[in-house]
Structure formats: structure tokens, C-alpha cells
Amino acid sequence: MTTTTEQLEQLTQAAAAAAPVWRRSDAATRASWLRAAADALDAHGEELVAIAHEETRLAEARLTGEVGRTTGQLRLFASALEEGSYLELTVDDADASATPPRPELRRMLTGVGPVAVFSASNFPFAFSVAGGDTASALAAGNPVIVKAHSGHPRLSRRTAEIMAQALEGAGAPRGSLALIEGREAGNALVQHPVIQAAGFTGSVSGGRALFDLASGRPDPIPFYGELGSVNPVVITPAAAGARGEELAKGLVGSFTLGVGQFCTKPGVVFVPEGAGFEDLVARFAVDAEGGPLLTERITDAFPLGVAHLEADPSVTVVAEGRPTDGAQPVVLATDAAAVVDRPDTLLEECFGPVTVLVRYSSPDQLLAALRAVPGSLTGTLHSEPGDDVADVLEVLERRVGRVLFAGWPTGVAVTWSQHHGGPWPATTSLHTSVGATAIRRFLRPVVFQDAPAELLPAVLRDDALASLPHRRNGVLRVP
């Protein structure tokens, strides 16, 4: 099913008509709309999980948990609306004695307008129709038009139907949420003059193409894309010696989780040469199970990606997992010098259950290879007390959006403090796509100068400010 030009025009006009209602809605009203959508999705959870299982081949237990994460995120944003700090309310009172004289200035953040959201394949709930981009855009006060992913079209349609009905049933205007299908319709959507921002999760090539379309418009719009990430891991010699078996087991569990289709999969692991860590990984990897991948396109691409890595003369196969109907896990190894020489080959993301161990023999060799790693969502450092890791940490901080000191990067908590982003190509911006502050992507600042109180937005009037976090004349005030 492909959305026609006429259908797209109808949907964008409905979103344009709904936008002022969303922008003017107060926190309690908007929060109630989000909670209504969350409640409706939970009520239809079994139905949606069954459809998702048929289309994506992901396990029902995993999908059930993902529904909970998705509705929990909607409720998190509802709470963020009621808390109010996301508005960044700021007031400078008039001061005739200042040089130059200062007018009264009242600043807030407001919704940008209708937002386009492009669904991902690997999280059919949490990064799809009702996912984080949609939730944060709605919370910011914007209608959303979602481009469905071709990997789960029936799920996308049913999710959109349930969510749109719940929003309208709770009092939100018609046009609050809509769904389109087809690549051409998606390209047209991001270029449509009604759309004021776009969120995307997917491949570097697909995201870059849409990014260029968004930037090339007569009126360019922000494009928030989460693209590729190899998520480097550094294991120090002391850590390998103290808990090598534990780390090896954890690595295998992480890079094979979801058949290696998490955007936070540890794809490149820097290990000390001669520490025996490769043998430990091989011991656990031979029993690792793979499975079917999400789509035919991903299924076809995985062996080609592995073959591309294996073709490098420095690469050896450390271990392969159990043969399976689908992708077979594989652990490869190379050395730091090769990574420095050929980063475009050895540090290219391969979507699926594969990870690359990179041997290093000195701190300088490790740092040189680590600096070649492209921007990533996460970086993990496994070290021991007394390790001198300041330089490693400095490189990781500059290359990733989240630094872990324990555990593994697969799994992203949906919280106020979470950051799911990083330097290019991890994302096209410095914003997060997960957690409460993801709302900031779909807001813009507006200042009112010497405005009569009755013409100010309600949240900028003194009676409302008394109960909201705000800054006045440089002083932060929290009720």
C-alpha cells in the first residue's frame, strides 16, 4: 500500500489544522491525551504483540516488554509536561536604569508545528508509530505524521488506528496522528511545507538521503536522525585478567541479543593482546544462537557485511555460533594497526550478530585506534581500580553520547537523564531520541517583549509562574 499525493495532501492539511490546538493546549490536557494513548495501546497489547510477532519474527516476550516500554515513555512525557521545566520559562523584568535600558522580556519554548516521524525496523513499538519520536513530538505540542516501516506494515496501521482513535476520544483534534506508506510518500513528506521537523531511525544511507532533502528545502527544517553506530568497548589488561570470563560471557550475550539487531550492539571491542580474551570469547560464542533477521533486506545484507570484513587481510574468524535458520553469530579479530590504516573497512557497522575484537599491545596503539572510531551512541570502559584510563575516557567522551563503566550497552533506560545520541554518524544532531529531554528537538524559543499580561501565553503570566520552574532576573526559582 502506497500513500498517494492526494492522500498526503489531505493528511498534512489535517495536521496543519490540528497544530494550533496542540500548541495552545495546557499541560494537564496534553498529558491526558498522552495517557489516553498509552492506556489504549496497553489495552490492545496482546493483539499488537501477535501482529508484531508474525511480521518481525521477534519473540513475543521481547515484544510484550517493548509495548510496556513504549507506553511507559508516553506516560513519562505526560509527567514531564506537568512538571513544566521543559518550557525553560525565563523572565527579565524591565529596568530603565540599565545601560542600555532593558525592556521586559519573557521567554518560553513552544511546539514547532507538524512533525514527520520515520519508523525503524528493529523496534516495532519503541521506535515506530508510537515510539519515542512520536511521543516527544506530541508532548512538545505538535501533530505527527508517521512514515510506516515496510518491515511491519500491518502492525503500523493497527497501532496508528488505535492511537489516533484514543487521542481523538480524549479530546485531541482530528489530524493529531496519521500514517503514510511508501518511500516516495516519505520523501514527499519530509519536503512538504507543512512539516516543520523530522525524526528518523535507520540506516546511514537512508537517513542521509532524507537529511539532504530536509536541508535542501526552500525552508530547511531540522532533521533528527539516529543512523549508524559501532559502540566501541575497551577492556584493559587488568580487567581482562581479573574478570575475563565474566566479560567474555557478557559480550557474547550482548552482541547476540535480538540477533545483533540493537543499535547499541557492541560492534568493536578493544582487547589486550596476549591476555587470552579471544579464547574466552570463543568458548561462549560457539554455543550462541542466532536466528531469523527482521527483513529480507537485512537478511541478505548480513552475510555480505561479514564477508566484507573477512576479506581484509588482517581479519581472522575467532568463533562461530550454532548453525541456525537465520543469521549465525560470528566473532572476528583484527589488530589496532590495521584499524588505524583501514577504518572505513574495519569500523563499518554490520547489522546482525557479529562483533570485531581489536587487539592492542600498548596504550598509544589503543588510543590511535580508538580515535579512528566514528561517532557512536555508546562507549564502554571495563577497567580496574588503579588503571590509568584518563586518556581513554577523554577519547570516549568525545566520540560517544553515553559512557558505560559496567555492563553492556544493549538496553536503553527511558529516564530523565538518558541520552541516546552521539556525533555523526550516530546522530545528525546533539539531541537525544530517548528520555524526557528528547522533547527539546521539537520545540523552538519565542520571546515576548513588553507584552500586556492578558496577551501573554498563560504559562508566562505571573500567577502561573508562581507554580512553575522558571528563571527570573537570572535567579532560578523552583516552587
Q: Which residues contact 160 (CB under 8 A, 6 or more apart)?
A: 129, 146, 148, 177, 178, 179
Which CATH superfamily groups domain 5-227+427-477?
A: Aldehyde Dehydrogenase; Chain A, domain 1 (3.40.605.10)
Q: Would residue 331 be called left, alpha or beta, if left means φ above 0 and alpha means ψ between -120 and 50 degrees?
A: beta
Domain 5-227+427-477 and domain 233-404, same fold? Reply is no
Say which amino acid occupies 275: A
pLDDT tens digits, one per residue of 348-359: 999 999 999 999
Residue 263 annotated as catalytic: yes
Query: What's the confidence (pLDDT) of residue 135?
Result: 98
Confidence of residue 85 (pLDDT cuts 50, 70, 90): very high
Query: What's the confidence (pLDDT) of residue 207?
Result: 96
Task: Record the cell numbers describing residue 306, joined without a space.
Answer: 561479514
Confidence of residue 380 (pLDDT cuts 50, 70, 90): very high
Average pLDDT of span 380-389: 97
Predicted TM-score (pTM) of the model is 0.95
How far is it, in rounded angstroms, from Cα 297 to Cα 77?
34
The domain locations on the chain are: 5-227+427-477, 233-404
Query: What's the confidence (pLDDT) of residue 452?
Result: 97
Query: What's the confidence (pLDDT) of residue 254?
Result: 97
CATH of the domain spanning 233-404: 3.40.309.10
Ranking 123-132, 171-180, 288-297 by mean pLDDT, the lowest is: 288-297
* Catalytic annotation, pick one of 55, 66, 181, 263: 263
* Catalytic annotation, pick one of 55, 66, 181, 226: 226
Name residue 317's beta-bridge partners.
332
pLDDT tens digits, one per residue of 326-348: 899 999 999 999 999 999 999 99
Mean pLDDT score across all residues of the chain: 97
For 239-269, b/e burial (b = at least 16 CB within 10 A) is bbeeebeebbbbbbebbbbbbbbbbbbbbbb
How do 233-235 and 268-272 pair as beta strands? parallel
**Residue among 331, 303, 304 at smallest CA distance from 319:** 331
Average pLDDT of span 92-120: 97
Q: Is the pLDDT of residue 304 over 90?
A: yes
What is the share, in percent, of the chain residues with pLDDT greater than 90? 97
Query: What's the confidence (pLDDT) of residue 21?
Result: 98
**Are the CB atoms for 90 and 107 separated by under 8 Å?**
yes
